[in-house]
Structure 1
Amino acid sequence: MRDISKGYALVLLAVFFFGTQSTIGKGLMNSGIHPVTLAAMRILLGALMFFIYILVTNPKSLKLEKEDYLYFLIFGLLTIAVTHFCLNYAIFYAGVATASILLYTAPAFVTVLSIFFFAEKPTWQRIIALFLTLLGCYFITRSSQELNFNKLGVMFGILAGFSYGLWSILTKKGLSKYSTPVINFYSLFIGGLILLIASFIVAGPQSYLISPAKWTGVILMAFFNTFIPNNFYVNGMKYMAASKASILANFELVIAVLLSYLIFKEPFTFFKVLGFISIGSGLLLIVREDYKKKDA
């Protein structure tokens, strides 16, 4: 029972910090920082923070086995780099609402992939919870903007959702061999380098010439939206199935909407309330499944 509770606490703490990233990111992008440049800076700074943490706590753990080089290369490329790159272009072609809905399909991909990677059998409670959280995400994003199903936007959005889901799968896989800081460092470092190259191509090296105040904001974002939540989330996955953690992660959208209402005074609509209820119901189903199993 204690392990289950610890898993939920860690993942939900991660979700809270992830939920603040759109608010912080919006402010930084509104100040003139290019989205891909911001992603590269945030990811690389997050990697640096994990590197320093490892040097202080357990430097010997940085050594990888040769057969795992490809694993971390794929991890950084297909999860960190592809998610951020595709999400930005999904927003560009199809708008925030459509891109958000497609990104939050990640738990559906995780549920299917978990069958093949971990032999997880999806229960009816998990399937209903998945449906409710996806429906809630639709209500929340649909209430704010018209959906735009531009073909390129949808393609980039689906790729972002798939790669975001793959992050949970590859993280869970890596935990059998490596520690949380090591998994985070190498995946963020490789993904960040790829994003750095992409930012030089689409925004140019001059996009990094920002004021000290903006750099302070980026450093804070790297700490509170990458280092802290990645640490919580990956540790939380030690105690629960990948598909459950991914479904819980959709609660991030609720946090983001609440902060947008409190800080940017964005309207709080009836559909957003429906979305909150739907996502909350899905989370309760997941919790009920675990605790009922323990009591049996």
Structure 2
Amino acid sequence: MDIRGVLYVLAAASMWGMIGVFTKYILAEGISALEIAFWRAGFAWIIFVIHASFTRELKAHRSDLPLLLIFGVVCVTTFYGSYQLAIRDAGVALAAVLLYTAPAWVAVLSCLVLKERMTPLKTICVTMTLAGVACICLVPRLMSGGDLNLNTFGLIAGLVSGMTYALYYIFGKKYLYKYATPTIFVYALPAGALPLLPFVDFHEKTLTAWLLLLALGAITSYGAFSAYYAGLKRLEATKASVIATFEPVVAATLAFALFGERFTLSGYVGSALIISAVFLVVLASRNPKSAPTAQPAEQS
């Protein structure tokens, strides 16, 4: 496994970790969560189209168009929608825990779809990441006596968000590896954004709001997905998903630096578990036997 793959995915996780910072500032501008999701996809699509035009990567095989559209609906529309519903009905903390069940979903789906072997190291790393996220997001709320609001619909929506988030890895590794990242998202982003349109209430925006939305799309979608798929071409899906779980650590660090939000003791324990899992994957990457079974075309 190429160490560059690890660095690419860490870069993607760092950019994804900035989503909360941008969102907090944009929400303060009076823009709703679903409108933020719509513009995030829309601006990222424009940038991917420009990129693909310059690199002549606009074309996709006609036979692959249905798959690209399905990828957009599943991994943009369904993911964004289910996560918002989970936050509404299960609360932010539990929704975040359920979202980061993604490494477990990836591990299972990788065995079933990609035929990757579920090694003891993978099992340990997945367990550590799930425990780490629970310590960051769930334990503080339990200790403070917060209501977890464990209703069935919220629970199902949260699990769906984790599974659809995991499908980014499976689609990319199994079906879309032959395309450059810009080509994939030229088709997937509009397919995912358009179904959100009926649920969006558009608001007037200041120049600051437009710039924040543009930065959100450019960094957390265009930049993050470009780095992530470059990494996924060099890593097994399960290992990539574990490394990407570094995202909540980045988000919490930025929240502390910018907004004064602090970890509880359990939060520091959770961060240590996640970082340790990432380091285990990095160390395993030095083992030549852990290389992917197939090497897709290089990321452009």
With normalisation by structure 2, the TM-score equals 0.91
Decide whether the 8 Å contact of 2:177 with 2:233 is kept in 1: no
Q: Does 1:70 align with 2:40?
A: no
State the secondary structure of the residue aligned to 1:15: helix
Decide whether the 8 Å contact of 2:133 with 2:274 is kept in 1: yes
Match 2:79 to one of 57, 80, 83: 83
Supply the distance in 1 between the matched residues of 2:289 and 2:163 (Cα, whole angstroms): 32
Q: Does 1:225 align with 2:220?
A: yes
Per-residue deviation, residues 113-157 of structure 1 (Å, max 9, x unmatched): 111222100110011000000000000002443333222211111
With normalisation by structure 1, the TM-score equals 0.92
Per-residue deviation, residues 82-134 of structure 1 (Å, max 9, x unmatched): 11111111111111100000000011111111112221001100110000000
The within-5 A match list for 1:1-296 is 4-58=2-56, 61-145=57-141, 146=146, 147-199=148-200, 204=201, 207-293=202-288
Supply the distance in 2 between the matched residues of 1:55 and 1:95 (Cα, whole angstroms): 42
Supply the distance in 1 between the matched residues of 2:243 and 2:79 (Cα, whole angstroms): 19
Q: Count residues in correspondence.
A: 285
Decide whether the 8 Å contact of 2:97 with 2:137 is kept in 1: yes
Decide whether the 8 Å contact of 2:3 with 2:286 is kept in 1: no
Offset, 1:177: 2.2
Larger proportion of helix: 1
Decide whether the 8 Å contact of 1:106 with 1:246 is kept in 2: yes
Supply the distance in 2 between the matched residues of 1:197 and 1:234 (Cα, whole angstroms): 30
Unpaired segments ≥5 residues, structure 2: 291-300
Per-residue deviation, residues 185-218 of structure 1 (Å, max 9, x unmatched): 222221112222332xxxx3xx242222211110
Supply the distance in 1 between the matched residues of 2:78 and 2:140 (Cα, whole angstroms): 26
State the secondary structure of the residue aligned to 2:75: helix
State the secondary structure of the residue aligned to 1:63: coil
Supply the distance in 1 between the matched residues of 2:242 and 2:70 (Cα, whole angstroms): 23
Supply the distance in 2 between the matched residues of 1:175 and 1:190 (Cα, whole angstroms): 16
Supply the distance in 2 between the matched residues of 1:69 and 1:294 (Cα, whole angstroms): 35
* Aligned residues with identical type, % of pairs: 32
CA RMSD between the two structures: 1.6
Decide whether the 8 Å contact of 1:87 with 1:156 is kept in 2: yes
Decide whether the 8 Å contact of 1:126 with 1:285 is kept in 2: no
State the secondary structure of the residue aligned to 2:2: helix
State the secondary structure of the residue aligned to 2:192: helix
